[in-house]
Amino acid sequence: MIAKRNFTGWQAVEGLLNCARTGLRRKTMLFSVLVLLGLVALAYLPSYAGPLEQSATGMTRGEVVAKVVDYFGWPHQSEYNDIWKVPAKKLSDVKTADKYGKQLETAYEIGLIVPDALAAFNPNNPISRQDAAAILAKAFMLPEKSDVLASLTDKPNDPLTAADFDAVFKKITSTVVAPVQALPLTNAVAPRRYVKLWTPTEGTTIFYTTDGSTPTTSSKIYTIASTGHVNEMLSDAQLPERDVVYKAIAVKGGVSSPVQTFKWRLYRPKTAEFASKLIQAKTATAPAVYELWADAESVRAMAWYIEGQDKGILFDALQTPPEQANLKDYIDKNIAKKPYIVIIGHEHGDHDAQAPNFLKAGIDVYANKRGWSTLGVAGTFPAVFATTADQAKIKNVDEGDVFQLGGVTLNVYALPGHANGNVLLHDPVNGLLFASDIM
């Protein structure tokens, strides 16, 4: 849009022309022409070159997006834990720390907004009523010719005031049931997903299906309290991949939201080697920290190797059966520089399966005594220490214990709940907390 500035210098333009006609010296005429061109340029500037009359009351593109994102409760990528999440897409003219930066990056990631060819969104520019209507229609899954958007689409190119937007937004949120939302996002491939559903419309009931059929009020009901985060995994018979499809509606007072469809791709190889990643380098006062995993494990839990100047600790021992692979050999060959011990975070088979390989090699293995009985019993997972001789070698670890690694101190805390023997390790100096299935 071209905006003509309202200043009173146009008589000067006519005067300069008259001066030129009177035959003034060439230098004076040249100066006059340059001044004329400058005045004309000032008269016709793009709207972004300075504040327009509408900026005092009009809404910016960033403001509208932020209001919609905040209403739906979409979290920024930095605000939720998902080790498989795809790296966030970035707008070229938005930083995370900017005002509305997180909301704008979130909106871009979920596809609510589309930048220009230079990946710019121009969040500080005024937003047209038509563009605001398009964002609302996309978020609430409404046709752009919807009656609730009529006051925006009737005058699509007019500036949007905060009062006008608030009136439309209030009408939408009071008459329309917002579509169901889900986490994690569907743009990542992972071996498992913990699915959470929600809608920002209060007082609704969420109905969903997982077989591809259209949900109705006779379908399964989802609530955080009763359903929680639904665990979607790959059984050995389903390897290496499958698609998980949820369809969901939210219903309130006989009014239903549009059907929302989510599709996650699960992938897990039948076999995989142990793998690791250095996530913190060692210093005189901070430990080296390695993340360890095996992609073929069904639960795909993590273990952590922590090493100070003198000693190390392996926290947890993964899920791979000890006869299939040897985590001790992997750590000795690829990671450990100092002698180390093993601490089991809790007594479940996806966190302790490799412990026998360490015990047989003469390495001390610690586990909280409240979980000792489970370590010797086969259940969902095979018994880790099936013989009384092995069970007698396990050392107790409990709240109040302290491990000195050389320049690094780890304090032990007990937190029974998920399992009786849950313990965690805390490095207060470096702000590190190592735990399994309790955070």
pLDDT confidence bin for 391, thresholds 50/70/90: confident
pLDDT confidence bin for 386, thresholds 50/70/90: confident
pLDDT confidence bin for 388, thresholds 50/70/90: confident
Is it the case that residue 332 has pLDDT exceeding 90? yes
Residue 249, beta-bridge partner list: 207
What is the pLDDT, as a whole number, of residue 156? 87
pLDDT confidence bin for 50, thresholds 50/70/90: very low
Is it the case that residue 288 has pLDDT exceeding 70? yes
Rounded to the nearest 10 degrees, what angle do helices 61-72 and 101-110 cross at? 70
Is it the case that residue 47 has pLDDT exceeding 70? no
Is it the case that residue 303 has pLDDT exceeding 80? yes
Q: Which DSSP category does 315 fall into?
A: E
Question: % helix / strand / coil in the chain, to the nearest 5?
Answer: 30, 25, 45
Q: Residue 309 corresponds to which tokens in the numbers above?
A: 């100047």
Using DSSP bridges, classify how beta strands 260-267 and 241-252 pair: parallel, antiparallel or unpaired: antiparallel
What's the CATH number of domain 274-434, 3.40.50.10470, 3.60.15.10, 3.30.200.20, 1.10.10.2120?
A: 3.60.15.10
pLDDT in tens, 209-242: 999 999 999 999 999 999 999 999 999 999 999 9
φ/ψ (deg, to 5) at 289: -130, 125
pLDDT in tens, 10-33: 344 344 334 434 443 444 444 443
Q: What is the dihedral of CA 204, 207, 208, 212, to 10 degrees?
A: -120
| Residues 151 and 168: beta-carbon distance below 8 Å | yes
Residue 182, beta-bridge partner list: 197
Give the CA count within 13 Å in the CB-facing half-sphere of 249.
Answer: 16
pLDDT in tens, 134-144: 999 999 999 97
What is the pLDDT, as a whole number, of residue 439? 62
By C-alpha distance, which of 8, 3, 84 is closest to 47? 3
> How many helices and strands in the chain, by DSSP H and E?
12, 21
Is it the case that residue 342 has pLDDT exceeding 80? yes
Say how far apart CA 294 and CA 232 lie, in whole Å. Answer: 18
What is the pLDDT, as a whole number, of residue 53? 35
Q: Which residue has the higher pLDDT, 96 or 10?
A: 96
Percentage of residues in the chain having pLDDT higher than 90: 78
Is it the case that residue 328 has pLDDT exceeding 70? yes
Measured over the CA atoms of residue 40, residue 44, residue 49 and residue 51, the dihedral's sign is positive
Q: What is the distance, to the nearest Å, from the Cα of residue 257 to the centroid of all Cα atoms in its chain?
A: 25
φ/ψ (deg, to 5) at 89: -75, 145
State whether residue 294 is helix, strand or coil.
strand
Q: Does residue 65 come out as left (phi exceeding 0), alpha (psi in the -120 to 50 range) or beta?
A: alpha
Q: Which residue has the higher pLDDT, 11 or 381?
A: 381
Domain boundaries of the chain, sorted by first residue: 2-50, 55-175, 181-267, 274-434
pLDDT in tens, 142-201: 997 899 999 998 888 888 999 999 999 999 999 999 999 999 999 999 999 999 999 999
What is the pLDDT, as a whole number, of residue 6? 39
Is it the case that residue 263 has pLDDT exceeding 60? yes
Q: Mean pLDDT over all residues of the chain?
A: 88
What is the pLDDT, as a whole number, of residue 154? 87
Q: What is the distance, to the nearest Å, from the Cα of residue 66 to the centroid of all Cα atoms in its chain?
A: 17
Percentage of residues in the chain having pLDDT higher than 70: 87
Mean pLDDT across the stretch 279-308?
97
